[in-house]
Amino acid sequence: MVKNCIENVRRKAPLVHNITNYVTVNDVANALLACGASPIMSDDREEVEEITSICGGLNINIGTLNQNTIPSMILAGKKTNELGHKVLLDPVGAGASKLRTDTAVNLMKEIKFNAIRGNISEIKTLALGSGSTKGVDADVADAVIEDTLDSAITFVKAFSKKAGCIIAVTGAIDLVSDGDKCYVIRNGRAEMSKITGTGCQLSAIMTAFLIANPENQLEAAAAAVCAMGLAGEIGWSNMQPGDGNSTYGNRIIDAIYNMDGDTLEKGAKYEVR
Amino acid sequence: MVKNCIENVRRKAPLVHNITNYVTVNDVANALLACGASPIMSDDREEVEEITSICGGLNINIGTLNQNTIPSMILAGKKTNELGHKVLLDPVGAGASKLRTDTAVNLMKEIKFNAIRGNISEIKTLALGSGSTKGVDADVADAVIEDTLDSAITFVKAFSKKAGCIIAVTGAIDLVSDGDKCYVIRNGRAEMSKITGTGCQLSAIMTAFLIANPENQLEAAAAAVCAMGLAGEIGWSNMQPGDGNSTYGNRIIDAIYNMDGDTLEKGAKYEVR
Amino acid sequence: MVKNCIENVRRKAPLVHNITNYVTVNDVANALLACGASPIMSDDREEVEEITSICGGLNINIGTLNQNTIPSMILAGKKTNELGHKVLLDPVGAGASKLRTDTAVNLMKEIKFNAIRGNISEIKTLALGSGSTKGVDADVADAVIEDTLDSAITFVKAFSKKAGCIIAVTGAIDLVSDGDKCYVIRNGRAEMSKITGTGCQLSAIMTAFLIANPENQLEAAAAAVCAMGLAGEIGWSNMQPGDGNSTYGNRIIDAIYNMDGDTLEKGAKYEVR
């Protein structure tokens, strides 16, 4: 019942602390508001522990990471662990530079995450970079499509088990696993990749879903993925002649804003493997 | 005549220096352009004094404050005082962390502000935090609604007198006082709280209104509040099926862009107490 | 054939590294996606050389520059030179502070740019600030309009020769020169100045055009200017009653997204002098 997951977010209105990049931060804030949560952005080391303490959870996104924000991520993340709050990692660009890979891997060592969400390339980087290749076959193809689905599911399950948290790999087909089960989700549209930040928005929303559904973590994470993908479908159906990626981005957030539990339940396209 | 206030902004096109957060900064820039002003964003300590010198005023917003930008706020603010420029404080999140409360309180000590704009919780934090409780009853309710209006007006007037500047408290009902008079403003819509940054935009616009109306400061600040609220009403009236908070945000800035003096005069809903 | 220039961008999908300001960065990312390129934003000194190495080129924009990002600009720029990648400078606000002027001038000394794009005031500041007044008449008027066109063309050609790169001056009339020839472009609308960031978007897009058209640099830069201006015209033609600068901004990016080679070829208004 993914329906309950979004309804719990709207009912509980969780406050989500975000240490995130400055590229997509405005859309992240509006996406959180759209799904019924509330955003706080704060990345100075002097206040992140205090800010995260008043929130229900923390969304760490390493896009535009820098020397000032990396220590803040560690501090805030450790504090969430201490408090039993939810904490999610979005390893944006892991693999693109040593700094990003090392930071993501180090964050995984220092902080016990509830979930990690990225594209297949980022998640593979973490699987390799964290020295977890034993038992995890990271030699999975670079795109999760029907042809590569089986090996991708095996990979995601194995890495989830190894990492000890939910792993969400988003792409043409989305996979969300807790090591045991794997949601295979077929919502969304290819055109979403022509908008900056839909992944960042999803990570923030997923954090809100995890906070609001403490007893149903895997389904909550999967429901967030379904909601984002479905919003991409609804937003696209509202496109007018002349509209492009900028307007499409607005319509996706609008679709989240207007999405009720029944719409999500009816529109979610997933199977559990 | 709030009409004159917006017309003066459009006629004089004041340049507004903003040291502001990276979450809503793009909307702040577009909102300033929409009302006829021009934005400059700059927060490095090596240039803020020079940048603020070529502007008509400064908008200091402590959302996403950090160790680098706090000294810049002080330097730029002191320079505006030296030059007799307008300077406004938006104490975003005061009360949410010691860093924010201390920074806001310290800014009030170091800089003589022309106006401070925040929600009731932020403004109460300043009233308490600045040790100004003597003579200021900060025990006002957490929302300014009809039931709590009288005590809120008393509080805002007292704090304005104590702080020596205009205090604007925005919420369900907005209050703008110079210690003597208090504008009670009933423009706006509840849905505006589902968009990130309408408060930040208002602070920037208010700075522009203060600059362009040097002989009419209280009315200028109140006119900015009316304009933002009215834009929220006009923007809402333009909503189409499927629109949500993202599109609503655009329509509000659009409404400011299209607002002339007569529209503001006719649409402004206020009384002076 | 400006048509080929945009078609090459869509076909090659160049990855563009941006060290840019936090005001307009989201629109910069979406504008790059709209024209068929891919954006990466990264400004930490520990990773910029590595990030720029995997890209086709670098767009350096000094809006909201600070002590942390200035060294990153130098490092990344030098690396692009080493690798033979394209690199463009957008000297936002040069002339408004010593820090901005000095930084822009210093970047020109340390890095061999392929192109510099700014408004007439910024470009004049560089011409004077870099001590290149000998042989360059910077005493050109502050706006490039029909009346001042001849002297502006002379100035831009001379400065381009001196600087050793393409110079693009955008305004009422746009000029793009390699020192030898000068494209005089009459696309665009005055209302574009009421949106923050159209200049920043153009600089990013121009970088993508330069990367994708290595054998046709001047025409590529001019084609980017035509594309942005034409998008401003198409976006305006799609405006509805009640729309303002915020929606206009979205429609411009939308128009880039939908622009094919034939539309650009037919809509581009330029002469070569």
**3-state DSSP of A214-248:** CCCHHHHHHHHHHHHHHHHHHHHHCCCCCCCHHHH
C-alpha distances in angstroms, C212 versus B237, C17, C56, C209, C260?
45, 14, 8, 5, 15
Of B1 and B137, the one with more pLDDT: B1
C55 touches chain A (CB under 8 A): no
- What is the spatial distance between Cα B205 and Cα B229, in angstroms, rounded to a whole number? 12
Q: How far off is chain B from C141, nearest CA to CA, in Å?
A: 21
pLDDT for position A135: 45
pLDDT for position B143: 84
pLDDT for position C137: 57
Q: Is B30's CB within 8 Å of C195's CB?
A: yes
pLDDT for position B133: 41
Tokens representing residue B46 in the block: 């090596």
- pLDDT above 90 covers a percentage of chain C that reads 93
Amino acid at C97: S
Would you place residue C20 in the very low, low, confident or very high pLDDT band (cuts 50, 70, 90)?
Answer: very high
Nearest C-alpha neighbor of B86 from the set B94, B76, B96: B76
Would you place residue C133 in the very low, low, confident or very high pLDDT band (cuts 50, 70, 90)?
Answer: very low
**Can you say how many angstroms the Cα of residue A131 is from the centroid of all Cα atoms in its chain?**
23
Evaluate if residue B134 carries a pLDDT over 80.
no
Q: Which residues of A touch C238 (CB under 8 A)?
A: 242
Across residues C157-173, what is the average pLDDT?
97
Rounded to 5°, the CA angle C48-C53-C54 comes to 110
State which residue of chain C sits closest to A250, comparing Cα positions: C250
- The least confident of A13-17, B226-230, C124-128, C135-139 is C135-139
Across residues A123-152, what is the average pLDDT?
76
Give tens-digit pLDDT for B250-271: 999 999 999 999 999 999 999 9
Please report the beta strands in chain A, taking only residues with DSSP state E, as ranges in sequence order: 15-19, 38-41, 57-61, 86-90, 115-118, 166-169, 174-177, 182-185, 270-272
Give tens-digit pLDDT for A201-231: 999 999 999 999 999 999 999 999 999 999 9
C-alpha distances in angstroms, C140 versus A127, C152, C176?
59, 6, 16
Would you place residue A251 in the very low, low, confident or very high pLDDT band (cuts 50, 70, 90)?
Answer: very high
Inter-chain Cβ pairs, chain B and chain C, closer than 8 A: 91
Evaluate if residue A132 carries a pLDDT over 90.
no
The count of other CB atoms within 10 Å of the CB of residue A137 is 12
- What is the spatial distance between Cα C41 and Cα C39, in angstroms, rounded to a whole number? 7
Would you place residue C139 in the very low, low, confident or very high pLDDT band (cuts 50, 70, 90)?
Answer: low
- What's the fold here for domain A2-272? UDP-N-acetylmuramoyl-L-alanine:D-glutamate ligase (3.40.1190)
Tell me the domain boundaries of chain A.
2-272
CB C21 within 8 A of CB C63: yes
Q: Where are the alpha helices (DSSP H) in chain C?
A: 2-12, 25-34, 48-53, 69-83, 98-110, 120-129, 149-163, 198-212, 217-237, 245-257, 261-267
Q: What is the mean pLDDT of chain C?
A: 95
Give tens-digit pLDDT for A13-62: 999 999 999 999 999 999 999 999 999 999 999 999 999 999 999 999 99
State which residue of chain A sits closest to C39, comparing Cα positions: A196
- Whether the pTM exceeds 0.90: the reply is yes
CB A145 within 8 A of CB A172: yes
Radius of gyration of chain A (CA): 17
Pairing relation of β-strands A182-185 and A174-177?
A: antiparallel
Q: Which residues of C touch B257 (CB under 8 A)?
A: 194, 244-246
Evaluate if residue C132 carries a pLDDT over 60.
no
Interface of B with A in 104-163 (CB under 8 A): none
ipTM: 0.95
Inter-chain Cβ pairs, chain A and chain C, closer than 8 A: 91
B71 touches chain A (CB under 8 A): no
Q: What is the mean pLDDT of chain B?
A: 95
What's the DSSP call for residue C194? Answer: G
- What is the spatial distance between Cα A214 and Cα A206, in angstroms, rounded to a whole number? 12
Place of tokens 């600045």: B130
Evaluate if residue B136 carries a pLDDT over 60.
no
C54 touches chain A (CB under 8 A): yes
Q: What is the mean pLDDT of chain A?
A: 95
CB B235 within 8 A of CB B251: yes
